[in-house]
A and B are shown apart, each in its own frame.
Chain A
Amino acid sequence: MNILITGILLSGTYALIALGLTLQYGVARIMNLGNGETLVAACFVAFWLYTGFAINPLVGLLLIAPGAFLINLVIYLVALQPLVKRAKNRGQLEVDSILATFGLLFLLQGLMIVAFGGEYRSYTFLAERFDILGNSYGLNRIVAFVAAAAIAGALWFFLYRTRQGTAMRAVAVDPNSANLVAIDVARTAAIAFALGGALTACGGALISTFYTFNASMGVIFTMKALIIVIMGGVGDIRGAILAALILGISETLVASLIDPGLTLAATYALFILVLLFRPQGIFGRAPT
């Protein structure tokens, strides 16, 4: 039971890391390698708000999310939309966007090093004990999990129960056909990218309450997010959440029952299995 709860809490963290990228890659077709840096940047902002102005990270989300939305919108319109426009097909856009966001990664990292230095940062927020069924867990992890669940729920509602969201899913499935039914693909993609950035930033702010981070750590998060997004099926949030759950629980199982040294091996073994048997991802559609 302890293992299960720990695993579920961990999967909440993973979902936070990956949800934003699902939108950015799935809808906007931008394989954003700067995902981890966006997350770490939000960690820094949350840290700065908390230590400098005593703003609770949960309240800080109200500033961080809109801020990240705007910044990502600008990044998309300035740096990425020209790539979208000139790309002749999806493959070319992926290659171009990978190169462009690779640059974005270094830009963000450099800015963070200039602004905050390279040191490790962490702060104490809700590092209290919270008992469930006789076992103790960190309250900050529980809060992050609850927030992750709330964010995922809201996102699900948006994508599956609203007009805008349905349009977004349509673009994820087939941008050309979406265009035919009068969906403004360019606008939808821009919003999806910005929304994805905002989600990643929310994840960062929540994760900063229990992670020790520095400006160079983004790539760790990007790797995890990539695995989860590809495992879940590109552009499908249900898949991403399921993949996060599977990874979180199986890593904790392996760590508790076999050896913590094998968690990475377990992750990649699962990843290979999915790629072998369902290369399109758990919820992904086979290419027709």
Chain B
Amino acid sequence: MLRRNFIALAAATAALTLAGAPAFAQDVIKLGASAPKSGPLAGGAAVTHWPNIQLWMKEVNAAGGLKVGDKQMKIELVEYDDKTNGEEAIKNIQRLATVDNVDFLVAPYSTGLNIAAAPMIAKYGYPHIATTAATDGVKDFASRWPNSFWMLGTSTQLAEGIVQTLTKMKDKGDIGNKVALVNVADAFGLELVGAAKPLLAAGGFDIVYETSYPLGTQDLAPVISGAKAAAPDAFVAFSYPGDTFALTEQAQVQGLNTPVFYTGVGTAFPAFAKRFGAAANGIMGIGGINSSDPGVKGYLELHRADLGSDPDFWASATTYAGLQILGQAIEKAGSLDKAAVVEAIKGGTFDTVIGKVSMPNNVNENVWTVGQWNNGVFEAVAGDGLSVGAEPVKKAGWE
């Protein structure tokens, strides 16, 4: 009995292995991906990261694959969960490189995991197109790991974006100069607040309330009542998804009616608009897109048609663009040679859903920095080197 089971099992395994192996291995490009499917960042990755890989692969494979030299090659994905853990991400990259022997990699998700995995990706020489990392370190990273490319901008750019927006509105007479500044107490929040404070001071703003709260906190009533007591003109929070939702709901409940209400990561999620409905109108946050741009428009339609949902209005399009760049660079290099593809990315200009992108210094400087909800679209109201979708407007009350 036992033996028969064993034979059956062995046969099944053999059949699976045979079925799993591509018949003509050389006609397929193996793409490896390691990103969170569990752990604290799984929520973000499930919106921003994984769907775009599926979407891009589907598009490319439907078109017959990538043209490499004189061959049409389809793409095959090997994916691993890094459990939002740097150690795990490094192990995954190593496995993808040495056991699965993938031809190329999708960059990990988030600033921290991209940085954690960067040395390992560099060691194996893969092109590393980071589309979900926003940090002031990008220039250093780009020179330390010449195979790496950084597309989402820097913390300073993001902080500049909101301060420029506030300045614009102050000059127009929409708001006064009192700002409440809140941040989540981790690297991301601290870096943004550190960049924003001197800029606010230089812009003649008065920070009337300032505080931070620990990562993972969703009981933020005291933060909102503190901010409300300081009667600011603008509420600016560098927050993460869970707290972004909690801050917004508390502000709504306590009636914190500031003309500018800005929250961090998560504001750009379609779930945010769904949750707050009409009350979301006028809320600002990190990211944004120019919905009148034809590239972006096409991407939105594609995303809706294929996945039945809106993308994240911050890094989603960038993630898709990063994959487009990888694909176009492979075609341009005409081979699966990693170094040749890195060179092709460095030297080329690429036509993507976020416009023409070139990264001679491995950094994409053109990003949207502030978005504002307007009837279901998170329209960019500030950006660097890109045209914006709309001018910032005062937020009406919550009702």
Contact = CB atoms under 8 A, between A and B. Distances in A.
B223 A255 contact: yes
Contacts of A3: 222
Given A118-B42, A120-B269, A255-B223, A260 B213 contact: yes
B54 interface: no
Nearest to A127: B249
Contacts of A238: none
Interface in B273-324: 275-277
18 contacts: A6-B221, A10-B219, A113-B42, A118-B38, A119-B271, A120-B43, A120-B47, A120-B245, A121-B271, A123-B275, A124-B276, A124-B277, A128-B253, A129-B254, A215-B42, A220-B216, A260-B212, A261-B213
Interface string B44-81: 11110000000000000000000000000000000000
Interface string A223-265: 0000000000000000000000000000110011001110110
Interface in A101-137: 109-110, 113, 117-124, 127-129, 135-137
Contact of A261 (B43, B214, B255): B214
Given A109-B38, A117-B46, A136-B255, A260 B271 contact: no
Contacts of B217: 260, 263
Interface stretch (A91-99, A159-167, A206-214, A271-279): A206-214
Contacts of A136: 253-255
A127 B225 contact: no
Contacts of A110: 38
A274 B253 CA distance: 35
Nearest to A254: B222
Contacts of A128: 253
Nearest to A130: B253
B246 A118 contact: no
Interface in B222-270: 222-223, 225-226, 241-242, 245-246, 249-250, 252-255, 266, 269
Contact of B271 (A120, A210, A211, A261): A120
* Main SS class of interface, B: helix
Nearest to B50: A118
B185 interface: yes
Given A10-B221, A260-B211, 18 more contacts: A3-B222, A6-B221, A118-B38, A119-B47, A120-B47, A124-B276, A127-B253, A135-B254, A136-B254, A211-B242, A214-B46, A251-B219, A252-B219, A255-B213, A260-B226, A261-B185, A261-B214, A263-B217
A127 B226 CA distance: 20
Interface residues of A, number: 42
A39 to B, nearest CB: 13
B222 A214 contact: no
A119 B43 contact: yes
A146 B237 CA distance: 31
A88 to B, nearest CB: 32
Interface residues of B, number: 43
Interface string B27-47: 000000000111110111111
B313 to A, nearest CB: 15
A110 B81 CA distance: 12
B218 interface: yes
A49 to B, nearest CB: 17
Given A120-B43, A120-B269, A136-B255, A215 B213 contact: no
B221 A127 contact: no
B220 interface: yes
Most A C-beta atoms less than 10 A away, residue of B39, B212, B255: B39
A282 to B, nearest CB: 22
A215 B37 CA distance: 10
A236 B293 CA distance: 62
Given A6-B225, A127-B249, A120 B266 contact: yes
Contacts of B269: 120
A212 B38 contact: no
B222 A6 contact: yes
A284 interface: no
B118 to A, nearest CB: 23
A261 B275 CA distance: 27
A9 B220 CA distance: 12
Given A3-B222, A136-B255, A252-B221, A259 B212 contact: yes
Nearest to B249: A127
